[in-house]
Amino acid sequence: MEEEVIMDVTLSQGLRHLPVYLLLDTSGSMTGAPIQAVQEGLVLFKREVEKDTFARETVWVSIIVFGREVLNLTQGLVPIDSLEIPSLEAGGYTPLGGALRLLIDSLDRDVKKPVRGGEKGDWKPLVFILTDGKPTDDWKSPRNELLMRKERKVLNVITVGCGPDIDETTLREIAIGPSFKMDADSASFAAFFRWVSQTVKSVSQSVSQPQGENIPTPMPIPPDVLQYIP
Amino acid sequence: MKVRTVSPFPDIPKRLEVEGPAFMGGEGEVYFSRCGQFVVKVYHDRMLPQDKEKMLEKVLFLGRNLGEDTKLLCWPLALVKELEGRRKIGVVTRKVPCPPFQELVDVVFSPREFKRAVERGANWLHYLQVAHSLAKTVAVLHGKGCAHADLHFKNFLVDLKNGRSVLIDLDGLVVPGFLPPQVAGMMPFMAPEVIRGFATPNEKTDRHSLAVLIFHTLLFRNPLQPLICYDPEDEERDEKIGWGEQALFSEHPFDFRHRPLFLGRPLFRRGVLSYSMFPPFLRHLVERSFLEGLFVPERRPLAREWEQALLFSFFTVWRCKQCTQYFFYPYWLPFFLRRCPFCGKRVEFPYPLLGRLYGERSSEVAASRGEVVLGHRFQVVGKMFQERCQDIFGEILWREKGYSFRNLSTRRIEWLSPFGSSGYLEEGEEILLERGMLLDFGGYFLEVKEDGCTV
């Protein structure tokens, strides 16, 4: 019998990555079932995105939590298949501003910049923000910075508020792109993460299809549990 | 949900119960029928051209007498009239069973997908079969005067283990003067002239897409993948330039802008496969597609040419003793350079027997593809000479002193040695083969170019 051959293969060269940022609220009010549901949601997200060949090869993820501490748990962007799901702990306030700062840092540091005649850059990042309350720090100035960026801009920031404490007015103020609200039960979280996975999959694919200049990135219709805030 | 349909085929139900949507695409939503037999695609109203339904009727009309070709082409069978009582436009096709079928992208996207498939028991030979099936499918479609207009690796469903494929999404067919183009395509598979807006999809742009698909299926990468940035301000424009205006074959002989690193290094040692592992007659088609024909559509090989060349290429494969993959035996290289492109192992003694084919009527055996690679228990068959010939002439056997040929047919086969002797083989008789020997199967000849023993 032949000896076992080790198949050490590489990824395709020249593929653009699609950076995906998940900004997750881990404040005290998320304690218990909600944080558990978010944790499970992350597992579902990884599993769903990995199933899709396009997404598996192109999606890079960063998870930023804001609660007792503000942390980039993945320390930058990691390929979806080497993403290790961190364990989340709830506690503290809702320092959304700090999280936005970390997002800006990572955009500057980790998103690959194109060089004319040299390496291609990454796709514009997708950002999802999940929060259950009012921000407790200065979030206005980092939000403005994000809006004013000239290079390495983000493709879309989708904000989802969950639970009974969500204030639509604040949510609308925070949001840069579309915003939604939902309940804080486990079914809602599961539906939310499934929708995030679908969005990521369809964006990773649609970027290789030529579009008219003004057609927005197609986004799967959000599940019923997500209520659009106009 | 309830769907009302109309169909020219009597066996398609007028009413279907569907579940879903299972997918949401750019064009519309896709549902599966509860009976498990049909796929229903319902278009978004806002995306529709005015005469979409008329066009779909024409597509249905073209698919009336498919016969055996339904195995290759998943043709629309009915039109959707209503979904849940609301007026909708859409099509019904049969459902291709997944598994065993899966999207081509899932097995060819990168070497990682190939590795995964190998771990599940697939071999590169299955990929060669799939590539042949892709070419055959497009050849059949083009033979009917239709172009698909949107060939890419999510529109082919493949059954790797059995080397089969099915083409889906035929609702955007193009027939000159009968059906205008409706879709644009997926950038990495689109002909440069379509990306640049100089042409709309047609049979010649299909030829480009097919060549990209075949290359991708056999080498696990896109032959035109841009590797450098053309517009740092706008990624979408950058892509358009890279695949369109600046489209460039990754293995262009003197423009290295899109040449991958580690090209030609064995795949299982973090390498990248090169089309130089193809036999000359296949290399020629690659060059016509991506060097001569990249911007000159008329030069691109016909689907039928790919089909024939890929069929013939089966007679040139050899199995690696180390990694067990099949590969094209590189008879065009000196012995010491003949290696397995996957693991890098040198081909060792006993080497295969290399034969060259001739026909009495030269048109029957294209001189450019005359080589066959033969090993122990390989059969010498009529198909090697002519596609439709079903004859079996004999088999090659490894004996103590070298390869011999045994006559398995009832005809007398004449042999001629390079030293002047000659004779006949009756049924069951065999003869030791040596370099320069000629076998005559009655109008078809096989010359021994390498006997597998002497280097």
**pLDDT of amino acid B106:** 94
Contact assignment for B268 to A113 by CB distance below 8 Å: no
Closest CA to B78 of B51, B48, B39: B39
Q: Pick B269's closest partner by Cβ from A8, A118, A124.
A: A8
Q: Tokens 């003004």 appear where?
A: A214
In this structure, is residue A144 part of a structural domain?
A: yes
Q: 3-state SS string over chain A?
A: CCCCCCCECCCCCCCCCEEEEEEEEECHHHCCHHHHHHHHHHHHHHHHHHHCHHHHHHEEEEEEEEECCEEECCCCCEEHHHCCCCCCCCCCCCCHHHHHHHHHHHHHHHCCCCCECCCCCCCCCEEEEEECCCCCCCCHHHHHHHHHCCCCCCCEEEEEEECCCCCHHHHHHHCCCCEEEECCCHHHHHHHHHHHHHHHHHHHHHCCCCCCCCCCCCCCCCCCCCEEEC
CA A29 from chain center: how many Å?
21
- Residue B119: count other Cβ atoms within 10 Å of its Cβ: 9
Mean pLDDT over residues B265-272, rounded? 95
pLDDT digits (tens, 9 = 90+) for A68-88: 999 999 999 999 989 999 898
What share of chain A has pLDDT > 90, as a percent?
23
Placement of tokens 């960026």 in the chain: A149
Q: Which domain holds residue A142?
A: 18-207+220-229
User: Which tokens go with B397?
Assistant: 């056997």
Least confident of A152-161, A212-221, B3-12: A212-221
Q: How many CB atoms lie within 10 A of CB B187?
A: 21
Smallest CA–CA separation between A221 and chain B, in Å? 9
Is residue A3 very low, low, confident or very high in pLDDT (cuts 50, 70, 90)?
Answer: low
Answer whether residue A5 is part of any domain: no
Highest mean pLDDT among A204-208, B48-52, B304-308, B356-360: B304-308
The answer to whether the CB of A112 falls within 8 A of the CB of A125 is: no
Centroid of chain to Cα B366: 20
Number of domains within chain A: 1
The amino acid at residue B297 is: P
How does DSSP classify residue B181? -
Structure tokens at B230: 């053309």
**Alpha-carbon distances, residue B382 vs B28, B332, B350, B376, B377 (angstroms):** 49, 24, 25, 18, 16
Of B188, B270, B271, Cβ closest to residue A208: B188
Residue B8 CA: distances (Å) to CA of A107, B63, B266? 56, 10, 53
Q: Of how many residues is chain B composed?
A: 455
Best probe of the B interface among A81, A120, A205, by most B CBs < 10 A, is A120
- How many CB atoms lie under 10 A from the CB of residue B445? 19
Indicate which CATH number applies to the domain containing A73.
3.40.50.410
d(CA B452, CA B432): 12
The pLDDT tens digits of the residues spanning B209-249 come to 999 999 999 999 999 999 999 998 888 889 999 999 999 99
Residue A213: inside a domain, yes or no? no
Asked if residue A214 belongs to a domain, the reply is no
DSSP letters of B335-394?
GGG-B-TTT-PBP-SSPPEEEEEEESSGGGS-GGG-EEEE-TT-EEEGGGT-TT---EEE
Local confidence band at B367 (pLDDT 50, 70, 90 cut-offs): very low
Quick check: is A150 in a domain?
A: yes
3-state SS assignment for residue B18: strand
Best mutation site among A7, A15, A155 for testing chain B: the one with the most B CBs within 10 Å? Answer: A7
* Residue B56, phi then psi, degrees to nearest 5: -65, -35
Mean pLDDT over A112-121 rounds to 88
Q: How far is CA B185 from CA B39, B142, B153, B295, B306, in A?
A: 21, 18, 11, 18, 21
Residues of B in contact with A10 (CB under 8 A): 110-111, 262, 270-272
Whether residue B169 has pLDDT greater than 60: yes
Q: What is the pLDDT of residue B172?
A: 83
Indicate the average pLDDT of chain B.
90
Question: E strand or H helix at B303, and its extent?
Answer: helix B303-313
Tell me the shortest Cα–Cα distance from A7 to chain B, in angstroms.
4
Kindly give the residue spans of alpha helices, DSSP state H, lying in B188-299: 192-195, 203-219, 235-243, 280-287
Nearest residue to B79 via CA among B19, B170, B5: B5
Q: Taking CB atoms and an 8 Å cutoff, what residues of chain B touch A12?
A: 109-111, 220-222, 225
List CB contacts of A126: < 8 A, sequence separation 6 or more.
A18, A19, A20, A21, A154, A155, A156, A158, A199, A200, A203
The structure tokens listed for A230 are: 């106009």
In a domain, residue A64? The reply is yes
* ipTM of the shown complex: 0.84
The torsion angles phi and psi of A22, rounded to 5 degrees, stand at: -115, 115
* Residues 6+ away with beta carbon under 8 Å from A133: A25, A27, A29, A94, A163, A165, A166
Q: How far is B81 from chain A (nearest CA, A)?
A: 23
Return phi, psi of residue B107, to 5°. Answer: -115, -10
Q: Is residue A194 domain-resident?
A: yes
Residue A4 lies in a domain: no
Higher pLDDT among residues B6 and B48, named by residue: B6
Domains and CATH numbers, chain B: 2-94 (3.30.200.20), 102-314 (1.10.510.10), 351-450 (2.60.200.20)
Distance CA B92, CA B31 (A): 9
pLDDT digits (tens, 9 = 90+) for B283-308: 999 999 999 999 999 999 999 999 99
Q: Helical H runs in B10-123? A: 52-62, 105-108, 111-119
